[in-house]
Amino acid sequence: VQEAQGSKAPVANLADRVSLYFVPVVMALAVVAGGAWFLSGAGAAFSLRIFVAVLVIACPCAMGLATPTSIMAGTGRGAQLGVLIRSGAALEAAARISTLVMDKTGTLTLGTPALTGIHLVDGASFSEKQVLVLAASVESVSEHPLASAVVQAAKVRGVTLGEVQEFESVPGLGVKAVVLEAGQERKVTVGRVSFVEQELGGAGQSLAESAQSVADQGETPLAVAVDGRTEAVLAVADQVRPEAGEVVARLKAMGITPVMLTGDTQATARAVASALNISRVTAEVLPQDKADVVAALAKDSQGVGMVGDGVNDGPALARADVGLAMGGGAHVAVEAGDMTLMRSDLRGVLTALQLSRAVLRNIKQNLFWAFGYNVLGIPIAAGVLAVFGGPTLSPMIAGAAMALSSVSVVSNALRLKRFTPTWTRAKQEAQPEAVRSSS
């Protein structure tokens, strides 16, 4: 948080460029104003007073404070709301995104998949229990989230796993190994249907039909082959986060297009996307290709954000204009993200994006006031009103005005300390209504 508070947003570059020329320009204006009044016969004392008033009232302090004060207040408020922001640049980029890519597993879903069924194919040589033993034995060595579902199901059923040899993992596709079970060696392959078909050189119609049936229900099908023959399809389901639908709806209301990115099959992805009302879906994406998908989306939109939690999401999070990592996810994802959501609540995405917009809006307000103050104040201090019979500005009043301009900028930035995301306000408003209804 301290690093972010000390960072600079790109929008501050304009203020820096203006400040670079501000002092010499003001010095020149003060000399011109004082000299003009002296040459007009106003006297040395009056001319000196004008000269000092211009120097005093024209201070770049307000412009220098406009950006850092807003960033400090915004990042501090973000930390209170469970959003850690790495830099001011991330805040500005998040305020401008128009497309938000969300990983399915662990982001839109709870990330706790469970085995819901074992569907034997026609002509299977093994029972459901035997298939589970062999598949769980191989998956016990894998680190994939779906693997834990198969292993956990085996533990619940109290089966004994076999010894695993020659284990091989193909990222995003599946695993294969030799399992020593009941004194026999079995060559077992578990993974995508396409992966198993490729390993076997083809598969029967029964496997495709079983996999399609599982996918149509929004579950992930895992094909199991033993000794070169397809045996079953494992159905693995991951529950959609209860707040995911609300998040998608509010993103659309903010003018942001949600996109679901997943390595699951098209049918599974479409079923989940339909339940969440997400129209843009990119499925069957290999881990190494996720960053390329994000890069392609970046070319066609104003800005792209990415939300993820897994090791496979790291490159995509780094490639996006803004990467938002779920705090409970993999360390790689957290390190690659520009923002980290500390709570396991997808509505933290709304908090991050709405806070970013509020900070950018606050910076623009500060810069407008700082520039406007100098544009109006310098001519008045130079005696423009006195030319038309009006009053002049004493150096003491000019100094007070300069201090007031800085105080106003800081005060405006501190309003961010009271920032509350819209979903929180809606929740707070709904609670009294629920109490009244119950009474």
Decide: 310 and 330 in contact? Cβ < 8 Å. Answer: yes
pLDDT for res 426: 65
Decide: 282 and 99 in contact? Cβ < 8 Å. Answer: no
* Residue 16 vs residue 123, higher pLDDT: 123
Helix-then-strand count for the chain, H and E: 18, 13
Listing from the earlier edge strand, what are the strands of the sheet with 184-191? 114-120, 229-237, 220-226, 184-191, 174-181, 163-170
Prediction pTM value: 0.79
What confidence tens digit (pLDDT) does each residue in 403-423 have? 888 898 999 999 999 999 988
pLDDT for res 150: 92
What confidence tens digit (pLDDT) does each residue in 203-227 have? 677 888 888 888 888 888 999 999 9
How sure is the predictor about 429, in pLDDT bands with cuts at 50, 70 and 90?
low
The rounded distance, in Å, linking the Cα atoms of 84 and 337 is 10
Mean pLDDT calculated for residue range 267-291: 88
- Encoded amino acid at 25, one letter: V
Mean pLDDT calculated for residue range 135-144: 90
Q: Backbone phi, then psi, for 195, in 5-degree steps?
A: -65, -45
Considering only 235-244, 271-280, 361-370, 386-395, which range has the smallest mean pLDDT?
Answer: 386-395
Of 112-116, 327-331, 354-358, highest mean pLDDT? 354-358
What's the chain's average pLDDT?
85
Could you give the C-alpha distances from 198 to 130, 201, 226, in angstroms and in order?
Answer: 23, 5, 14
What residue spans of 219-313 are helical by DSSP H? Answer: 244-253, 266-276, 290-299
How sure is the predictor about 439, in pLDDT bands with cuts at 50, 70 and 90?
very low
Decide: 171 and 287 in contact? Cβ < 8 Å. Answer: yes
pLDDT for res 16: 66
How sure is the predictor about 424, in pLDDT bands with cuts at 50, 70 and 90?
confident
Q: Which residues are CB-neighbours of 345 under 8 A, at least 6 positions away?
A: 82, 243
Q: Which residues are CB-neighbours of 358 under 8 A, at least 6 positions away?
A: 74, 416, 419
Q: Which residues are CB-neighbours of 44 under 8 A, at least 6 positions away?
A: 38
* Residue 179 vs residue 371, higher pLDDT: 179
What confidence tens digit (pLDDT) does each residue in 289-346 have? 888 999 898 887 788 999 988 777 888 888 888 999 887 666 666 677 889 888 888 9
pLDDT for res 332: 66
Could you give the C-alpha distances from 378 to 28, 35, 56, 326, 371, in angstroms and in order?
Answer: 12, 15, 9, 49, 11
pLDDT for res 344: 83
DSSP secondary structure, 360-401, as one string = HHHHHHHHHHHHHHHHHHHHHHTTHHHHTT-----HHHHHHH
Mean pLDDT calculated for residue range 336-359: 90
Listing from the earlier edge strand, what are the strands of the sheet with 257-261? 83-85, 339-341, 322-326, 304-308, 99-103, 257-261, 280-282
| Max intra-chain CA distance, the chain | 113
* Residue 12 vs residue 362, higher pLDDT: 362
pLDDT at 5 over 80: no
* Residue 38 vs residue 349, higher pLDDT: 349
- Strand 114-120 with 280-282, pairing: unpaired
What confidence tens digit (pLDDT) does each residue in 18-71 have? 667 777 888 898 899 889 888 888 889 988 988 888 888 887 777 778 888 999
Q: Backbone phi, then psi, for 7, in 5-degree steps?
A: -85, 170
Q: Which residues are catalytic?
A: 103
Distance of CA 236 to the CA centre of its chain: 27
pLDDT for res 315: 85
What residue spans of 40-122 are helical by DSSP H? Answer: 44-57, 61-80, 88-96
* CA angle in degrees (0–180, nearest 5) for 232-238-241: 165
pLDDT for res 14: 63
pLDDT for res 428: 63
Decide: 150 and 234 in contact? Cβ < 8 Å. Answer: yes
Q: Backbone phi, then psi, for 341, in 5-degree steps?
A: -90, 110
pLDDT for res 330: 60
